Amino acid sequence: MKLNLGKIYEKSMDKEVRKALGQYYTPEFIIKYIVEKTLANIDVLDKPFLKIIDISCGAGYFLLAAYDTLKEKFLEEIHNLKNMYGEEVYTLEKDGKRIKVLGKDYWVEENIHYHIIKNCIYGADKDSLAVEITKAMLLSKGEKADVDDLNIINCDSLIRWENKTDYENHEELLVKFWSNKFDVVVGNPPYIGHKQLNMDYKKWLLEEYEDVFKDKSDISYCFFKRILEILSPRGVAGIITSRYFMESPTGTQLRGYLRDNARILEIVDFYGAEIFKDVGVATAIYIFTKERLMNNEIQVKKLVDDNYKFSNTDDLKELLGTDLFEGFTIRQNSLSLARWVLVSKEKLNIYNKIERKAQYSLRDVALSFQGIITGCDKAFVLSKKDISEYNVEGEITKNWIKNSDIEKFTVKDSNLFLIYADSIENERDYPNSIKYIERYRNRLENRRECKKGIRKWYHLQWGRDSRLFENPKIIFPFKSSENRFALDLNKSYFSADIYALIIKDEFKDKITLEYLLGLLNSNLYEFYFKLFGKKMGRGMYDYYPNSILDLKIITGDITDEITDKVRKILSLAKKKNQVENDLAKKVMLLRHDIDEILNSYFNLTKKEIEIINSMVNPPKVL
Give the HSE-up count for residue 346: Cα atoms under 13 Å, Cβ half-sphere: 13
Q: Kindly list the distances between the CA atom of residue 225 and the CA atoms of 34, 288, 289, 330, in Å, as whole numbers in the listed order.
A: 19, 12, 12, 22
Instruction: With CA atoms as reference, report the closest residue to 377 among 345, 418, 430, 338.
Output: 418
- Average pLDDT of the chain, as a whole number: 90
Instruction: With CA atoms as reference, report the closest residue to 591 among 411, 407, 414, 412.
Output: 407
Helix (H) or strand (E) holding 466: helix 466-469
Q: For position 578, what pLDDT does the model report?
A: 58
Cβ burial 386-423 (10 Å sphere, 16+ → b, else e): ebeebebbeebbbbbbbbebbebbbbeebebbbbbbbb
Handedness of CA 323, 532, 493, 516 (dihedral sign): negative
Q: For position 540, what pLDDT does the model report?
A: 84
Kind of pairing, strands 486-488 and 381-383?
A: unpaired
Give residue-wise pLDDT tens across range 439-479.
999 999 999 889 988 899 999 999 999 999 999 999 999 99
Contact 479, 541 (CB under 8 A): yes
Give residue-wise pLDDT tens across range 316-358.
999 999 999 999 999 999 998 988 999 999 999 999 999 998 8
Helix (H) or strand (E) holding 305: none
Q: What dihedral do alpha carbons 185, 186, 192, 194 form, nearest 10°?
A: 30
Contact 167, 175 (CB under 8 A): yes
Cα 338 → chain centroid: 16
What is the rounded average pLDDT of the residues 591-613? 95
- As a whole number of angstroms, the distance between CA 515 and CA 394 comes to 34
First to last CA, the chain: 64
- As a whole number of angstroms, the distance between CA 531 and CA 352 comes to 11
Give residue-wise pLDDT tens across range 542-575.
999 988 999 999 877 899 999 999 999 999 988 7
- As a whole number of angstroms, the distance between CA 100 and CA 278 comes to 52
What is the rounded average pLDDT of the residues 19-30? 69
**Is the predicted pLDDT of residue 180 greater than 90, yes or no?**
yes
Q: What dihedral do alpha carbons 420, 425, 431, 436 form, nearest 10°?
A: 40
Q: Kindly list the distances between the CA atom of residue 373 and the CA atoms of 343, 420, 464, in Å, as whole numbers in the listed order.
A: 37, 11, 9
Q: For position 527, what pLDDT does the model report?
A: 96
Selected residue with higher pLDDT from 239 and 509? 239
pLDDT confidence bin for 10, thresholds 50/70/90: low
Bridge partners for 92 per DSSP:
99
Instruction: With CA atoms as reference, report the closest residue to 314 among 273, 280, 352.
Output: 273
State what percent of residues in the chain have pLDDT above 70.
93
Low-confidence winner among 103-112, 145-154, 289-298, 367-376 (lowest mean pLDDT)? 145-154
Any idea where the domains of the chain sit in the sequence? 1-70+109-180, 189-342, 364-553
Give residue-wise pLDDT tens across range 114-168.
999 999 999 999 999 999 999 999 999 987 666 768 999 999 999 999 998 888 8
Q: Which CATH number fits domain 189-342: 3.50.50.60, 2.60.40.1120, 3.40.50.150, 3.40.50.720?
A: 3.40.50.150
Q: Coil, strand, or helix at residue 385?
A: helix
